[in-house]
Structure 1
Amino acid sequence: MTEPQSALLLRRQLAELNKNPVEGFSAGLIDDNDLYRWEVLIIGPPDTLYEGGVFKAHLTFPKDYPLRPPKMKFITEIWHPNVDKNGDVCISILHEPGEDKYGYEKPEERWLPIHTVETIMISVISMLADPNGESPANVDAAKEWRDDRHGEFKRKVARCVRKSQETAFD
């Protein structure tokens, strides 16, 4: 049986990341027999509130990848305007391709088949460093980030960072 194109592409991206790791994250398969489910470890970016954190997330790829984007979900608790309370990551490049029915995003800001695990992870790391308060997935975190960034928001993030360090290698 030949592998579907999506599996070949994912296998190639995984091999490339293992050969040439990218600063800020590492990636691997959750189960060696399933190329469509990855686990990533994201290191909280330096000079951000998330610095020192080790955040675990899962990437689930559709069978028609790269025509459609993967879903990304933080397994480690994280307090962030662009991550909903279930851990689902909400950023433009992970949104289905095409027109945004709400008119917030241009088609070129959304998923494009040229994106790779590396470009997704670089976007997520950038999202940690610079949240988008305009289209929040977690309204409470967005409100705190806007109104009380150095108080309650910072405290909640610090708690998540500490917790992430304790559970990083469970």
Structure 2
Amino acid sequence: MSEHATLLLQRQLRELNKHPVEGFSAGLVDDKNFFEWEILIMGPPDTLYEGGFFRAIMTFPQDYPLMPPKLRFTTDMYHPNVYPDGVVCISILHPPGEDKWGYEQASERWLPVHTVETILISVISMLSSPNDESPANIEAAKEWRMDYPSYKKKVLQLTRRSAEDVW
């Protein structure tokens, strides 16, 4: 299976390089390993993250596209749907099938038709509108809901720092 996954990942990277998508860039961490990508997400306009540059690592399983990759911010990130260790928690990155807690429908979870592009567009959308119903970072979700000015201040500081760290 991993040969199929390698070919698919090579094709997706080639497509992204040929037709870049606004809002992010992607490349390999190591030219010999198609299963680990370095991602740079530009903070979406009209959000607290605007002007920021957020680095992440996307790690693909050997049985990709049957199973989803993992995405972890390596730049500090404070967001209800990002665990304190940087791991992104969104439905399309959850394994396929039924949710054992009944929160997500199977159609919202990972499907092999998803690509790096659709994943990153979902992450950019997540930055724009957090889902505080199912938080990965409970402190950030609580603050977002109950003390937005404090949440906003923390995010704006991280965003400013991320922009300075890129250069």
Q: TM-score, normalised by structure 1?
A: 0.96
Runs of 4+ with deviation above 4 angstroms: none
- Say whether residues 1:26 and 2:25 are aligned partners: yes
Aligned residue type for 1:120: I
TM alignment of 1:14-163, pairs within 5 A: 14-149=13-148, 151-163=149-161
Shift in Å at residue 39 of structure 1? Answer: 0.5
Q: Are 2:147 and 1:167 equivalent residues in the alignment?
A: no
One-letter amino acid of the counterpart of residue 137, structure 2: N
RMSD: 1.1
Question: What letter is aligned with 2:62?
Answer: K
Distance in 2 of aligned mates of 1:49 and 1:158: 6
CA shift digits 1:20-47 (9 cap, x unpaired): 0000000000011100000110000000
Q: Distance between the aligned counterparts of 1:109 and 1:81, measured in 2? A: 18
Post-superposition shift, 1:59? 0.2
Aligned position for 1:5 = 4
Question: Which structure 1 residue ranges, 5 or more long, are not aligned?
Answer: none
CA-CA distance at 1:81 after TM superposition: 0.2
Secondary structure in structure 2 of the residue aligned to 1:12? helix
**Structure 2: distance between partners of 1:33 and 1:117:** 18
Alignment deviations for residues 5-30 of structure 1 (CA, whole Å, 9 cap, x no partner):
00000000000000000000000000
Instruction: Could you tell me which runs of 5 or more consecutive residues in structure 2 were left unpaired when the two chains were aligned.
Output: none
Cα deviation, residue 116, structure 1:
0.1
| Counterparts of 1:39 and 1:163, CA distance in 2 | 19
Q: State the AA in 2 paired with 1:87.
A: G
What secondary structure is seen at the aligned counterpart in 1 of 2:30? coil
3-state SS in 2 of match to 1:36: strand
Alignment-mate amino acid for residue 35 of structure 1: F
> Any idea what the Cα deviations from partners look like across 1:95-150, whole Å, max 9, x if unmatched?
0000100110000000000000000000000000000000000000000111122x
Identity fraction in percent: 64
SS in structure 1 at match of 2:45: coil
Q: Can you list the C-alpha shifts for 1:56-104, whole angstroms capped at 9, x where unaligned?
A: 0000000000000000000000110000100000000000000100110
